[in-house]
Structure 1
Amino acid sequence: MSEQTREPGPSDTRRVVVAGAGMAGVQTAVALREQGFTGTVTLIGAEPHQPYDRPPLSKAVLLGKAEDSAFDVDFEDLGIELRLGCEVLGLRPADRVLDTEAGPVPYDVLVVATGAEPVRLLGTEGVPGVHLLRTLDDAARLRPLLARRHDVVVVGAGWIGAEFATAARGAGCAVTVVEAAARPLAQALPAEVTAPMTAWYADAGVVLRTGTRVRSAEPGAVLLDDGTRLPAGAVVVGIGARPATGWLTGSRIALGAQGEVVADRHLRTSAPQVYAVGDCASFPSARYGERLLVHHWDNALQGPRTVAANILRERTGEAPAVYDPVPYFWSEQFGRFVQYAGHHADADRTVWRGDPAGPAWTVCWLRGTRLVALLAVGRPRDLAQGRRLIEAGASMDPDLLADPARPLKSATA
């Protein structure tokens, strides 16, 4: 238990059930205990494995440098009941019952933390040699294929596609990445930012084919829509993820356009005593003036603290905590450490720090003079300082900001 653990407060007999045993679910359960919750906490996960962290799957676990990435949490010591290998099937909010394949589970408070599931490539379901990379079992199936240095085709040049291509090249595989859009990361970043990143593929010996779709897959090969047939000992699909909320159909929990649970600024759902956190939930951001759906690790780490605090505050009468973070994520690809903080959709000015053709540079987005987002490549200090400046709503001097030799924090207006 962490040093932040509080002394237990007055006895609380409520039953908190957490649906989902990934980062968001585990951190919710742990945060409840750290903040002094004394009722029962039950954590339900669909996979049979001890709860684990996902980012290492595309790195250490995939390359055989680690067997797993289990969380270093003593669930028994914390008094958290684990029910693993138990899929959630439905929800009856009026009865306060969670339906699972092992039977109904009553709750007083429910936290929906079922995360996201990978989007599958149409026409490839059940084809031998076509893989996803989302679970520990996925990584276990892919690891021997990389060790045998098969030709690998990666479908999708997003974050997960680039990370897997990096790992496959590191294992000595011949790698081709096929992307339907005209450039990598087309849905995540502007063209001017992804332009220098495109060269990373060739530098790493990866063939990148943009503006190309996969027509079909067969054992040992992929057929593209232009008629090209690519040899493929393994095909890895990384074309995005969607909230894993299909099980909520018919529950009357409000869902958004992408299937996510629509949470309020306290991470409460439309149903009484039901919260939602992590990849499966969107929340309104006063900071950015829009609803955000964040599919990244840091959101699954930070949100649970707000959920736990608000569950406890229901009994203390304190005002509920508001969740409005500066989104953050990182990616390791082609020998580069890429970090992003903020949300650039409403930016009206871009400022570069450093040469994007070089090994280290940063791009900053401003709304007026206010820093709203930045992406740092090999400049972790820029990221750390920039994230704090975004949180503070700081105004920046664009001319000072453009000087890569100047600490970012000294470029305030």
Structure 2
Amino acid sequence: MVVGAGLAGVRSVEALRARGYQGSITLIGEEPHRPYDRPPLSKAVLLGESDSTKVESDLDAMNVTLRTGVAAKGLRDGVLETTEGEIPYDGLVLATGAVPVRLRGEGDQHVLRTIDDALALRALFAPGVRLAVVGAGWIGAEVATAARRAGCEVVVVEAGDSPLSVALGPEAGRYTAPWYAEAGIDLRLGERVASVDPGGLTLAGGGTLEADVVLAGVGVRPSVDWLTGSEIAVEDGVVADEHLATSLPGVVAVGDCAAWWSRRFATRLRVEHWDTALNAPEVAAATLLGENAVYDPVPYFWSEQFRHMVQYAGYHVGARLVRRGDPERDATWTLCWLTDDDRLAALLTVDRPRDLVQGRRIVESGQRLDVRRVTDSSVALRDCTVT
């Protein structure tokens, strides 16, 4: 059984069948829709380039029973409790994803997580509409990009000292701040929101901000509240080992809800990215079927914002930042995070796809780098390794 009919859930089903599992599979999803992809929601869908992001997977051909509009309510050994009653299982994949964090207040606020969210938000975009985006993270930047192209008057309110400060740190995030002004967006840094009220926002520092539409883009939390009281370890997600096995026998976890142990980075990670939902199910399926597979990727993410392709790979916490090129002058640039012994822990690239591909391989290999050569953007990253 697979709980969660997003990309991670569908890929889990496909992986089980590809590995020869012939038993019955039930795929349960809380939404009324067939499985669909989420990354295009803040890109192609908001921009009006697509109305559907359905995952191309023939569940009928794989003899999978899809039950939409069914929510998980609890779990005990061998039994899943749902809104439609108890369902026994022999093996279980938890792929329930994450839910957006909402702001305090009585005013209307939008979030962006589902296809319905995206279509409802897009319908409000029009020239002159005043949009307040709370949070200058990945989602906030992409929504602001789409809204501005539609002619909205956009204000982005960010509690940190720079965009992407939570994801990348203030030093790295500040290099993206000029993009907002160039797009005609009012970026307000160091400003906290007290509440969402009818007609706009009340700011923690005093004053109000008038808005016709408010988007809360302040992050998500793993969808695990339904596991409260269940006999499974939960800590910022479902606790899983390097095989994606949980503390409950016969249960694995994948995607946004999984907090798995990374051998590579020697820490527990919960990665809310498409790449994780795409690839983790292969290991989860192998583990369920008794194989000894290990999930130890280099996390990867991309974002399209303000006509830039921004890509990130690795895990940079605790590493030092090295600039490759000059983000304040160059049209394209890369930021590298290096460990104490000059190994590449992570990199962020802006319109430099070759750096991303080569850098991701270097992170995987664990090679040391010549820091002087790394800072020279005319030298290919693969030529910066120390043999």
The question of a shared fold, defined as TM-score above 0.5 by the shorter chain, is answered with yes
- Stretch deviating more after TM superposition (394-403 or 233-242): 394-403
Deviation at 1:266, TM superposition (A): 0.5
1:135 aligns with 2:133: no
**Hey, what does 1:218 align to over in structure 2?**
197
Q: Secondary structure at the match of 2:362?
A: helix
Question: Structure 1 residue 121 and structure 2 residue 93: aligned?
Answer: no
Which letter does structure 1 place at the counterpart of 2:342? T
1:396 has 2:380 as partner: no
The separation in 2 between residues aligned to 1:337 and 1:174, in whole angstroms, is 23
Structure 2 residue aligned with 1:350: 321
Secondary structure in 1 matching 2:86: strand
- Tell me if structure 1 keeps the 8 A contact 2:127–2:153: no
The aligned amino acid for 2:337 is: W
* CA distance in structure 2 between the partners assigned to 1:208 and 1:58 by the alignment: 19
Per-residue deviation, residues 100-154 of structure 1 (Å, max 9, x unmatched): 1111111100111001111111224xx33x1111111111211110136411000
**SS of equivalent to 1:364:** strand
For residues 233-271 of structure 1, the C-alpha deviation after alignment (integer angstroms, 9 at most, x for no partner) is 110001011000011111121011x2x110011101000
Residue 69 of structure 2 corresponds to which residue in structure 1?
Answer: 85
Matched, 1:32 2:16: yes
Report the alpha carbon displacement of residue 182 of structure 1 after superposing the two structures with TM: 2.1
Secondary structure in 2 aligned to 1:75? coil
What is the distance in 1 between the residues matched to 2:64 and 2:126?
38
- Paired residues of 1:131 and 1:237 also in contact (CA < 8 A): yes
Post-superposition offset of 1:305: 0.7
1:321 maps to what in 2? 293
Structure 1 position 375 matched with structure 2 position 354:
no
Greater shift after overlay, 67-76 or 398-407? 398-407
CA offsets 1:202-254 (integer angstroms, 9 cap, x no match): 11111011111222323332222233332211100010110000111111210
Residues 11-410 of structure 1 aligned to structure 2 (within 5 Å): 17-93=1-77, 96-124=78-106, 127-128=107-108, 130-147=109-126, 149-256=128-235, 258=236, 260-312=237-289, 314=290, 318=291, 320-347=292-319, 349-357=320-328, 358-367=330-339, 368-410=341-383
**Paired residues of 1:145 and 1:233 also in contact (CA < 8 A):** no
Distance (whole Å) between structure 2 residues aligned to residue 362 and residue 155 of structure 1: 27
Distance 1:210 1:352 in 2: 23
TM-score normalised by structure 2 residue count:
0.96
Contact kept in structure 1, 2:165 and 2:172, CA below 8 Å: no
Paired AA for residue 377 in structure 1: V
Distance in structure 1 (CA, Å) of the matches to 2:169 and 2:206: 30
Letter in 2 for 1:49: H
SS at match of 1:198: helix
Please, what is the CA RMSD of the aligned residues? 1.3
CA contact (8 A) 1:369 1:396 kept: yes
Q: Which residue of 2 aligns with 1:8?
A: none
CA distance in structure 2 between the partners assigned to 1:344 and 1:46 by the alignment: 34
The answer to whether the 8 A contact 2:161-2:170 is kept is no
The question of whether the paired residues in 1 share the 8 Å contact of 2:141 and 2:305 is answered with yes
Q: Is the 8 A contact 2:321 2:335 kept in 1?
A: yes
Distance (whole Å) between structure 1 residues aligned to residue 206 and residue 363 of structure 2: 47
Cα distance in 2 for residues equivalent to 1:406 and 1:61:
38
Q: Name stretches of at least 5 consecutive residues in structure 2 with no aligned partner.
A: none
Q: Please say if residues 251 and 288 of structure 2, whose CA atoms lie closer than 8 Å, have aligned partners that are also in contact.
A: no
Closer, same or farther: CA 47–149 of 1 in aligned 2, 3 Å = farther
Amino acid at match of 1:48: P
Gaps of 5+ in 1: 1-16
- In structure 2, how many angstroms separate the alpha carbons of the residues matched to 1:114 and 1:120? 18
Contact 2:103/2:196, CA 8 A, preserved across alignment: no
Percent identity of equivalent pairs = 55
Secondary structure of the 2:152 match is coil
Measured in 2, the distance between the counterparts of 1:149 and 1:26 equals 40
Counterpart residue number, 1:5: none
Paired residues, what number? 384
